Amino acid sequence: MTTTRAVRYRAVRPAFLFLLLSAALPSLARSQAPVYEITPVESSVKFDVEASVAIKGTFSKWDASLTFQTRELSTAVLDIKIQADSVDTGSGVKNGKLRGKDFFNAKEAPYITFHSTKVTQTGATTFEVEGDFTIRGVTKKEKLVVSDEGKGSPAGTITGTMAFDRKEYGMNSGIPFIRIANRVQVNVNLKWKRVAGEPPAFTQ
């Protein structure tokens, strides 16, 4: 190899290595991102409404996912998708009323969804999850306040609550002979396991 060619080779080799590392780094970051699985059979989504006759229920058909682009908590996205007609209060009459057009309107709006847009750590094991909540075809910003006792572990449970005003979503009617409050509280209990990647980078 001539001196000129050797100089060119030494100049090109570092640049070539830099390009290889640049291409590899994104894939390395993705490989470290936590991968979660949420198991509905071990989890629950429930709701509670203050009323003259107790109105509490659960949904039997729903899915949830928690995804990360990197280990940074800010990249976390929580999605919950509920089949509205799977509501179960233990009463056929209440179930029918809630599925109807005055409440969930399940026939025309079959899904109740929550899609997070921002996750903020507020304490050692507590978080605020802001997102788009959709019910009966109406979408508004709501906040899910959660705790995760399994933080940093291979498995755990996320528990959280979210409250909303039913009338803001067009549920203005009542149920005959039952006084119903406007405030509805949703309670989630999500059993999760980390199947790949490293734990998220928590702030505390």
Q: Is the pLDDT of residue 18 over 50?
A: no
pTM: 0.82
pLDDT digits (tens, 9 = 90+) for 20-50: 444 444 444 445 899 999 999 999 999 999 8
Range of lowest pLDDT (141-150, 175-184, 195-204): 175-184
**How much is the mean pLDDT over the chain?**
86
Contact 73, 102 (CB under 8 A): no
Check residue 141 and give its pLDDT. Answer: 98
Pairwise CA distance, residues 11 & 19, whole Å: 13
CB-count burial class (<10 Å; 0-12, 13-18, 19+) for 32: middle
pLDDT digits (tens, 9 = 90+) for 133-177: 999 999 999 999 999 988 889 999 999 999 999 999 999 877 765
Contact 95, 89 (CB under 8 A): yes
Q: Which of these, 173, 174, 148, lies nearest to 159 by C-alpha position?
A: 148
